[in-house]
Amino acid sequence: MELRDLQTFGEPGAIVYLADCVALMRLMPARSVDAVFADPPYRLSTGGPTVKGGRLAPVDKGVWDRSLGSFEEDHRFNVRWLREARRVLKPDGTIWVTGTHHIIFSIGFALQTLGFRVINQITWEKPDPPPNALHTAFTHAHETLVWASKDRRARHTFNYDLINSPNPGSQMSSVWRIRSVPKREKLHGYHPTQKPLRLVRRALLASTREGNLVFDPFCGSGTTAVAAKELDRFFVGAEMEREYAELAERRIGAAGRGVVLREISETFWDGT
């Protein structure tokens, strides 16, 4: 199989392949990607309770979010896709991986085992988390993003001046307080694990440059593609579900290339 044999969605400069991410990465040239932003399956869909619309409901986001059978199998999957992601990353490229406690420790161990260097652990603090349904634990009010370079010798991109105040005492910290996905970002369809554009924009603005190539192995609703296009980066992604590839295509088509770069101001992080 070759890349041209795969069905694509999107547009030139922002392409989503209908494909398994590992299979797609094996078709991609080594050292071809400037950055990876990955939102892999959290393996949350165990049938346990959650709150939806004020009522208890079972957690079932889809077959793709269920465990492969055991923690060991889930970890082997993480190692497999991360190994391919490392191969396609350029020497000075970086990777972002999101997760909750269900997978983030596996991700962190896999990254370091494969030779990545962890740069930051980012806490995405949610001011509007769902309540704990069973009253048996603290409310889950954050997710983690791990930011890592390809190896210890890498000279990764960090656009300090773009994301920080000129005041040295006001440096952006590793705790990002960002609300969940607003309704305006769901106008083209629904995905159960969609990330807010504000979160992905910040990561890409910090770690990539105009014209760079961003890859997302778990494209979902296309948030990374939209953020990349708005920041005038190029994008390639993989998505196994046709429904979500089509959703990503609609969102890509509605986004403006470079629009966010043109609008960056002192109020950029206030919700743009």
Quote the pLDDT of residue 134. 77
pLDDT digits (tens, 9 = 90+) for 221-255: 999 999 999 999 999 999 999 999 999 999 999 99
| DSSP character at residue 3 | G
d(CA 28, CA 75): 23
Quote the pLDDT of residue 132. 79
In the chain, where the domains are located:
3-270
pLDDT by residue, tens only, the chain of 272 residues: 788 889 999 999 999 999 999 999 999 999 999 999 999 999 877 766 555 665 655 666 788 788 889 999 999 999 999 999 999 999 999 999 999 999 999 999 999 999 999 999 999 999 988 887 778 889 999 999 999 999 999 999 999 988 886 676 788 999 999 999 999 999 999 999 999 999 999 999 999 999 999 999 999 999 999 999 999 999 999 999 999 999 999 999 999 999 988 876 444 444 43
Quote the pLDDT of residue 117. 98
Quote the pLDDT of residue 269. 45
CA distances for 241 relative to 16, 26, 72, 138, 237, angstroms: 11, 19, 25, 33, 12
Q: Which amino acid is at 156?
A: H
Quote the pLDDT of residue 53. 60
**Are 180 and 124 contacting, i.e. CB atoms less than 8 angstroms apart?**
no
If one counts every other C-beta atom within 10 angstroms of the C-beta of residue 200, the result is 25
Quote the pLDDT of residue 252. 98
Instruction: Specify the CATH class of 3-270 in words.
Output: alpha beta
Quote the pLDDT of residue 51. 58
| DSSP character at residue 139 | -
The DSSP secondary structure of 221-264, one letter per residue, reads: T-HHHHHHHHTT-EEEEEES-HHHHHHHHHHHHHSPTTHHHHH-
Quote the pLDDT of residue 268. 46
Quote the pLDDT of residue 130. 80
Quote the pLDDT of residue 123. 98
Quote the pLDDT of residue 142. 96
Quote the pLDDT of residue 1. 76
Quote the pLDDT of residue 169. 72
d(CA 148, CA 93): 9
Tokens linked to 33: 């990607």
d(CA 240, CA 224): 16
Q: 3-class SS at 21?
A: helix
